[in-house]
């Protein structure tokens, strides 16, 4: 005796197909958020290096002349980008020679982006992003 009733088959097919569709859709959303975060990291590195290049050893006119790496980290953490968890952002600066005009300042900004994709084995893991920018100190 065969069972000819297929009333629940479409429900099972919809459940299987929709789970794959939603996983793909939310994965695309998560990767777009990661791309947005990387653009923030790159922009923050460029802005922080511009901030540091005018605050070298010959700086005048600013309250924070002779900037340190900790002051630069505070400057970057004060950015107000929506959707960015600023507690996961760190910035560091390096002066290979000195803080005198004509020398380089190298700024590195890192961000740990929380990657959350439903049904993905590594969901909840952090994606490490980093960007560096170097400019010549002008004052």
Domain boundaries, position 122: 9-136
Q: Is residue 3 part of a domain?
A: no
pTM of this structure: 0.81
pLDDT for position 107: 96
Q: Is residue 75 part of a domain?
A: yes
Q: Is residue 128 part of a domain?
A: yes
pLDDT for position 123: 64
Q: Is residue 126 part of a domain?
A: yes
What ranges in 54-134 are assigned the alpha helix state H?
A: 69-77
**Domain count for the chain:** 1
The two most distant CA atoms of the chain are separated, in Å, by 94
pLDDT digits (tens, 9 = 90+) for 2-58: 666 677 788 889 999 998 898 889 889 988 999 999 999 999 999 999 999 998 888
Q: Is residue 67 part of a domain?
A: yes
How many angstroms separate the CA atoms of 77 and 94, rounded? 18
Q: Is residue 31 part of a domain?
A: yes
Dihedral angle over CA of 46, 52, 53, 59, nearest 10? 160
Q: Let me know: does 93 contact 72? Beta carbons within 8 Å.
A: yes
Q: Is residue 84 part of a domain?
A: yes
User: What is the pLDDT averaged over residues 77-98?
Assistant: 92
Q: Is residue 2 part of a domain?
A: no
pLDDT for position 4: 66
């Amino acid at each position: 005796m065969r069972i000819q009733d297929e009333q629940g088959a479409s429900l099972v097919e919809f459940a299987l197909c929709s789970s794959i569709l939603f996983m793909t859709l939310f994965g695309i959303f998560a990767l777009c958020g990661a791309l947005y975060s990387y653009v923030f990291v790159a922009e923050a590195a460029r802005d922080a290096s511009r901030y540091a290049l005018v605050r070298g050893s010959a700086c005048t006119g600013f309250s924070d002349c002779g900037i340190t790496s900790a002051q630069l980290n505070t400057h970057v953490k004060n950015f107000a980008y929506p959707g960015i968890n600023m507690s996961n952002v760190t910035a560091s600066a390096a002066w290979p020679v000195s803080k005198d005009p004509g020398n380089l300042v190298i700024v590195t900004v890192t961000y740990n982006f929380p990657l959350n994709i439903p049904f993905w084995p590594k969901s909840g893991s952090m994606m490490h992003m980093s960007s560096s920018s170097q400019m010549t100190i002008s004052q």
